[in-house]
Amino acid sequence: MSNFCLNSAKTYIGKNVNLHLKDGAVIVNVHLTAIKKAEMGKMNLLEYTSFGNSGREKIPLRNIEYAEGLNRNILIT
């Protein structure tokens, strides 16, 4: 599996995914909204909203191992 990079992240913007982190944790069913530059440094942040939460959260792109796309047809039923 390839590394999760900026170009990979751009393909998932606007979609629901499960984010698998490098430490083994999984952030389940989030909607990716944007990619932003950190205020200090060269770090990119991935902005997402979780299901049922109106607030937006950010996570460094380098902490993500890969993203697993979700099928919206299964989630609606």
Residue 22, pLDDT > 90, answer: yes
| pLDDT for res 70 | 87
**Is residue 74 very low, low, confident or very high in pLDDT (cuts 50, 70, 90)?**
low
Can you tell me the distance from the alpha carbon of 25 to that of 64, in angstroms, rounded to the nearest whole number? Answer: 10
Q: What are the pLDDT digits (tens) for 8-18? A: 899 999 999 99
∠ CA 13-19-25, nearest 5°, is: 160
pTM confidence score: 0.82
Residue 60, pLDDT > 70, answer: yes
Q: Give the neighbor-by-neighbor strand order of the sheet with 57-60.
A: 57-60, 44-50, 26-37, 16-21, 64-69
